Structure 1
Amino acid sequence: MQLTALAMAMGLAVSATAVQAQSLNLTLSGGNPGGLWSLLGAGVDRAVQVADSSAVVTYQATGGGFANIGLLGGGRTDLGIVHDAEVQLALEGEEPFRSPITNMRAIGYMYNWAPMHFFLDRSVAEQYDIDSLDDIASSGAPIRIGINRSGNITSNIALMMFELVGVTDESLAAAGGQFVRAGANEQGELLQDGRLDMITNGIFINHSSFRAVDTNADVVLLSIPQEVIDATNERFGTGQMTIPAGSYSNQEADVNTVTLGALLAATDTLSNDEAHTLAMALIENLDEVRSVHSAMQQLSPEMLATPSLLEFHPGALQAYQEAGLSQ
Structure 2
Amino acid sequence: MRFPTLAATVCAVVASTAASADPINLTLSGGNPGGLWSLLGAGIDRAAKADDSDSVVTYQATGGGFANIGLLGANRTDLGLLHDAEAKIALQGGEPFQAPIENMRAIGYMYNWAPMHFFLDRDIAEEYDIDSLDDIAGSGAPLRIGINRSGNITSNVALFMLEEAGVTEESIEDNGGQYVRAGANEQADLIQDGRLDMITNGIFINHSSFRSVDENSDVVLLDVPQEVVEATNEEFGTGTMVIPAESYSNQDEDVTTSALGALLVATESMPEETAYSLAQSLVNNIDEVRAVHGSMKQLSPDLLATPSVLEFHPGAEKAYQEAGLLK
- Please tell me the TM-score bracket, short chain as reference: over 0.9
Q: Deviations over 1:40-72 (max 9, x none)?
A: 011000110111110000000011100000000
Partner of residue 185, structure 1:
185
Work out the CA distance in 1 between the residues paired with 2:208 and 2:286.
24
Work out the CA distance in 1 between the residues paired with 2:248 and 2:39.
26
Work out the CA distance in 2 between the residues paired with 1:166 and 1:187.
23
Partner of residue 156, structure 2:
156
Distance 1:37 1:76, change over 3 A: same
- Aligned residue type for 1:235: E
Task: Provide the secondary structure at the position in 2 that maps to 1:17.
Answer: helix
Q: Deviations over 1:1-32 (max 9, x none)?
A: xxxxxxxx99xx79x93896111100000000
Partner of residue 317, structure 1:
317
Work out the CA distance in 2 between the residues paired with 1:20 and 1:105.
26
Work out the CA distance in 1 between the residues paired with 2:37 and 2:223.
28
Partner of residue 136, structure 1:
136
Partner of residue 45, structure 2:
45
Work out the CA distance in 2 between the residues paired with 1:293 and 1:313.
27
Distance 1:64 1:19, change over 3 A: farther
Work out the CA distance in 2 between the residues paired with 1:145 and 1:102.
35
Partner of residue 274, structure 2:
274
Q: Check the 8 A contact 1:26/1:58 in 2, yes or no.
A: yes
How many pairs does the alignment contain? 316
Partner of residue 218, structure 1:
218
Partner of residue 4, structure 1:
none
Task: Provide the secondary structure at the position in 2 that maps to 1:117.
Answer: strand
Q: What does residue range 182-261 of structure 1 map to in structure 2 within 5 Å?
A: 182-261=182-261
Partner of residue 4, structure 2:
none
Work out the CA distance in 2 between the residues paired with 1:199 and 1:168.
15
Task: Provide the secondary structure at the position in 2 that maps to 1:298.
Answer: coil
Work out the CA distance in 1 between the residues paired with 2:238 and 2:161.
13
- Aligned residue type for 1:251: Q
Point out where structure 1 has 5 or more consecutive residues left out of the alignment: 1-8
Q: What does residue range 93-132 of structure 1 map to in structure 2 within 5 Å?
A: 93-132=93-132
Point out where structure 2 has 5 or more consecutive residues left out of the alignment: 1-8
User: Between the two proteins, what is the percent identity of the paired residues?
Assistant: 72
Work out the CA distance in 1 between the residues paired with 2:33 and 2:20.
33
Work out the CA distance in 2 between the residues paired with 1:197 and 1:128.
12
Distance 1:33 1:188, change over 3 A: same
Task: Provide the secondary structure at the position in 2 that maps to 1:138.
Answer: coil
Work out the CA distance in 2 between the residues paired with 1:170 and 1:266.
40
Partner of residue 77, structure 2:
77
Work out the CA distance in 2 between the residues paired with 1:310 and 1:102.
9
Distance 1:147 1:232, change over 3 A: same
Work out the CA distance in 2 between the residues paired with 1:248 and 1:18.
52
- Aligned residue type for 2:287: D
Task: Provide the secondary structure at the position in 2 that maps to 1:173.
Answer: helix
Q: CA deviation at 1:165?
A: 1.7
Residue 293 (str. 1) matches residue 324 (str. 2): no
Moved over 6 A (4+): none
Q: What does residue range 4-19 of structure 1 map to in structure 2 within 5 Å?
A: 17=17
CA RMSD after TM alignment: 1.5
Partner of residue 61, structure 2:
61
Work out the CA distance in 2 between the residues paired with 1:292 and 1:187.
26
TM score, norm. by length of structure 2 = 0.94
Partner of residue 3, structure 1:
none
Q: Deviations over 1:140-170 (max 9, x none)?
A: 0110000100000100000011111221111
